[in-house]
Amino acid sequence: MTKILADTFGYSTFRVGQEIVIEQALAKKDTLVLMPTGGGKSLCYQIPALAQDGLVLVVSPLISLMQDQVEQCRAVGINAGLVNSALTPEQIQAVFGQMHRHELDILFVAPERLLQLNFMERLQELNIGLIAVDEAHCVSHWGHDFRQDYRMLGKVREHLPYVPIMALTATADLATREDITHQLSLDNAFVHLASFDRPNIQYTVASKYKPLDQIVEFIKQRDGSGIIYCNSRKKVDEIATKLNQRGYRCGAYHAGLTTDERAQAQRDFQVDNLELMVATVAFGMGINKSNVRFVIHHDLPRSIEAYYQETGRAGRDGLPAEALLLFAERDAARIQEWIETGEGARTEVELEKFAAMQKFAEAQTCRRQVLLNYFAQYSDTQCGNCDVCLDPPQHFSALEIAQKVLSCVYRMRQQGTANQVVEVLKGRKPAKIIEFGFDKISTFGIGKNKPDEYWFNIINQLVHQGFLRIDITRYGALSLTEAAKDVLRGTFELQLAVPRLTVVSTRKAT
């Protein structure tokens, strides 16, 4: 094995977990491999493909990804083939010919193809050494990327009962892990659980108020390339255009572009023709760029798994990297509504996953600790490399400040959005403010001495603590809760965290 590692791949030592996983697979044992993105999962099945006679089958969810994987194998001299629904029957026939003549070491196959009965029967005639299920979290309802085709993979076990299965994934919480084991009927599997910690990534969450300005401010202070995730194609196009106008070499990537356009954007980013990529979640699986210095989330991701996977694309070279999440309470309310009104039986699971993500964004405790505990990797230490650790929240007596905000909301007849409340506090007069006569109320301009972000932060805290409500059925207008009355009357002592004006003050990664 060490010889193959050196001769074929040119590496002198195994990464954590690789050797033992490969040994188990060669000993015909089932394995469950949890390694972070970039941890070196591919080698776990590529080496068995060379070290034994049997063919290694790799189930992979994306056609584009399969093509890359085949090319990577061929580049180091592994005989690799692929079968997916894009091939004609003749082409598939040709691949079978190669398999029968033992010309292939490894075959990448799309799940829907594998599950066709005649395909499975033909595999029974061959010597299959290992079935590797890549992105194995796709088999589980509890995962964040469930795929119907993957669900059926348990059938493979029935047809090829003596072939060991290796399930690989970068992200799986406890429920998902158990479900993978169950769905694939893994038998007394050897589990390799790599640490989920990515210590070189500095996590920061900032209140989102003027996202474009915040992003520009952040980029200005940093070198190297970065990815900016948005949750809609429209947003991607908009942000990419604006960043280009401001002189950044910036690409766009989403599922609305043609395959060629996407491939071109990906290549340009890979070779540093582009310094920034604005993208939807469509950008990611299979990108192989190690020197991404930062990942910015313009919008809140739908789950911690997605967030972890997306931020995990930063700093794969092990050098300092950053993850910045721009968080607005209002976005959260909107996404939650999308999930609720969406179709499908998974709504409950998705809502729960989203609630966990939202809590992460709102947490006042070490970000890394929240992440690791989410993945059931117990951690009780402060990481020292996230916004909360680097700048722990301090509290202050906030009665007077809160009263300013709440009475402003009240005087705006509970019809103003957070943005408009901030405009009024700051004493600015855009058309809407004048139209509603908000420039005439007594709280107009009482918050001039603090920056916008300060007020947004206070408003968010008042929402979190149950004094304000965001009504998404009224365009996000703020209204007072029952508890707000006590604050306005001044009948109790209110503590709030001193707002951290994060983006501008975030230090460079050290």
Q: Which of Zn ion, ligand ADP, none sits in contact with 276, Cβ below 5 to 8 A by type?
A: none
Q: Which of ligand ADP, Zn ion, none sits in contact with 389, Cβ below 5 to 8 A by type?
A: Zn ion
Scanning 211-219, 329-337, 354-362, 380-388 for contacts with Zn ion by CB under 5 A, the matching segment is: 380-388
Which of 258, 301, 248, 304 is CA-nearest to residue 278? 248
Residue 146 or 360 with smaller CB distance to Zn ion: 360
Task: Compute the chain's Rg from CA coordinates.
Answer: 26
At CA 10, angle to CA 284 and CA 27, rounded to 5? 85
Residue 106 or 388 with smaller CB distance to ligand ADP: 106
Q: Which of Zn ion, ligand ADP, none sits in contact with 60, Cβ below 5 to 8 A by type?
A: none
CA–CA gap between residue 311 and residue 309 (Å, rounded) = 6
Q: How far is the CB of 25 from ligand ADP (least distance, A)?
A: 15
SS3 at position 103: coil
Q: How far is the CB of 288 from ligand ADP (least distance, A)?
A: 7
Q: Does 325 bind Zn ion (CB under 5 A)?
A: no
Which of 4, 104, 125, 6 is CA-nearest to residue 57? 104
Q: Does 500 bind Zn ion (CB under 5 A)?
A: no
Beta carbons of 302 and 353 less than 8 angstroms apart:
yes
Beta carbons of 206 and 492 less than 8 angstroms apart:
no
Scanning 123-131, 313-321, 362-370, 466-474 for contacts with Zn ion by CB under 5 A, the matching segment is: 362-370
Residue recorded with tokens 């989410």: 374
Residue recorded with tokens 């995962």: 143
Scanning 193-201, 268-276, 382-390, 448-456 for contacts with Zn ion by CB under 5 A, the matching segment is: 382-390
Give how far the C-alpha of residue 84 lies from the chain's centroid of Cα atoms, to the nearest Å. 27
Question: Which residues are 430's β-sheet partners?
Answer: none
The alpha carbon torsion through 257, 228, 292, 204 (nearest 10 deg) reads -160
Q: How far is the CB of 42 from ligand ADP (least distance, A)?
A: 3
Residue 177 or 368 with smaller CB distance to Zn ion: 368
Q: Which of ligand ADP, Zn ion, none sits in contact with 386, Cβ below 5 to 8 A by type?
A: Zn ion
DSSP state of 382: -
Q: How far is the CB of 331 from Zn ion (least distance, A)?
A: 23
* Member of 163, 389, 401, 487 binding Zn ion (CB under 5 A): 389
Q: Which of Zn ion, ligand ADP, none sits in contact with 214, Cβ below 5 to 8 A by type?
A: none
SS3 at position 133: strand
Residue 373 or 481 with smaller CB distance to Zn ion: 373
Which of 27, 58, 62, 65 is CA-nearest to residue 43? 58
DSSP state of 445: T
- Listed in order, strand segments (DSSP E) in 91-182 are 106-109, 128-133, 165-169
Taking each helix axis from N to C end, the angle separating 304-311 and 367-374, rounded to the nearest 10 degrees, works out to 120
Residues that bind ligand ADP (CB under 6 A): 11, 14-15, 18, 35, 37-43
Q: Which of ligand ADP, Zn ion, none sits in contact with 506, Cβ below 5 to 8 A by type?
A: none
Residue 41 or 368 with smaller CB distance to ligand ADP: 41
Residue 11 or 410 with smaller CB distance to ligand ADP: 11
Residue 37 or 443 with smaller CB distance to ligand ADP: 37
* Member of 186, 228, 386, 424 binding Zn ion (CB under 5 A): 386
Q: Does 163 bind Zn ion (CB under 5 A)?
A: no
Residues forming contacts to Zn ion in the complex (CB under 5 A) are 366, 368, 383, 386, 389
